[in-house]
Amino acid sequence: MNKLAVVALGGNALLRGDDKGTIEEQEKNTHDTLENLIYLIKEGYNLIIGHGNGPQVGNILMRNDAGTIMYDIPSMPLDICVADSQGGIGYMIERQLRNVLKDHGIKKDIITLVSQVIVDKDDEAFNNPTKRVGKIYPKVEADKLAKEKGWIFKQSPKVEDGWRRVVASPKPIDIFNIKSIENMARQGTIVIAAGGGGIPVYLDEDKNVKPLEAVIDKDFASALIASKINADEFYILTDVPYVFIDYNEPTQKALEFLDKKDAEKYLEEGKFGEGNMSPKIRACLQFIENGGSKSIITEATKLEDRSFGTKITKNYE
């Protein structure tokens, strides 16, 4: 039986730091990243792919703002913007992956799902929104929008009179259609799911599905899928070949192997950087704690060379 792996593509899979964000740039980056997944497919892995959407959903929100200001077009809520980005990015990944598979003579079905992910509407994250979304506004405009729309703003660390909307990033607890995702993947279909962390929803007292103004971390959502379907391995593809402790410090050290105990110790000591690698480590630990055998964090081009990448397991292998 083929192994089953969940692969979370980092933001740099689609947009690089110096890119303008054109469709040509995104398509090339996507194609180049997906080329590296051929190794796993040839090794006999069935795949589920998750992906980020940070820059893209930010652009959608800015188009929202421009349309409202210039043409009085009603703006769409954040859940619809996340759904828009899921569809657009999923389509781009699916199309580019079909081209990559064709070049390697591989025939596989690929399906993109617009995924709704269940969160707790009382998650403590809603008491302290931290995820920045959309454009940067001057304070006068930010105050006006806060009053009109009930949005919460925090000052940008990069712009003196810059304020940016922040929303909650609650933990994912479940995902709709998880059985279908697993069944399709185990039958050999490549499934693209929970893009951008999924659309955050909750169930009200009547069990109706309701949206929330929030964004979900794509690594936690991908780890949730991996745990729910008992995947063999969970991959996070990012822009570095290893996890480092004390990154960019004189004491920087690359970690090729990491067990649960040491990972938790380094997290507690703040060795990974809270806004950078720590969420990825926590997502990997979530998978391990729920029975997963191995999580790997690496750079996409290093995937085939098993000497690269940080392998996280319950105990040192």
User: Using one digit for the tens of pLDDT, what is the confidence trace for 13-42?
Assistant: 888 777 888 999 999 999 999 999 999 999
Decide if 280 is catalytic: yes
> What pLDDT score was predicted for residue 69?
85
- Cα separation, 96 vs 288, in Å, equals 31
Q: Which residues contact 166 (CB under 8 A, 6 or more apart)?
A: 129, 130, 131, 132, 133, 152, 153, 154
- Cα separation, 124 vs 315, in Å, equals 31
User: Using one digit for the tens of pLDDT, what is the confidence trace for 209-238?
Assistant: 999 999 999 999 999 999 999 999 999 999
User: Using one digit for the tens of pLDDT, what is the confidence trace for 92-148?
Assistant: 999 999 999 999 999 999 999 999 999 999 999 999 998 888 778 899 999 998 998
The answer, yes or no, to whether residue 317 has pLDDT greater than 70, is no
Q: What is the mean pLDDT of residues 66-79?
A: 92
3-state secondary structure of 309: coil
Which residue in 53, 218, 271, 311 is the catalytic one?
218
Which residue in 90, 280, 309, 311 is the catalytic one?
280
Decide if 218 is catalytic: yes
* 19 vs 177, residue with greater confidence: 177
Q: What is the mean pLDDT of residues 82-88?
A: 96
Q: Identify whether the C-beta of residue 236 lies closer than 8 Å to the C-beta of residue 219.
A: yes
DSSP letters along 227-253, please?
Answer: HHTT-SEEEEEESSSSEEESTTSTT-E
Decide if 131 is catalytic: yes
Which residue in 131, 228, 294, 314 is the catalytic one?
131
Residue-range domains of the chain with CATH? 1-120+177-235 (3.40.1160.10), 240-317 (no CATH)
User: Using one digit for the tens of pLDDT, what is the confidence trace for 257-303?
Assistant: 999 999 999 999 999 977 679 999 999 999 999 999 999 999 999 99
User: Using one digit for the tens of pLDDT, what is the confidence trace for 58-69?
Assistant: 889 889 988 988
Which residue in 11, 67, 87, 273 is the catalytic one?
11
- Tell me the residue type at 255: L
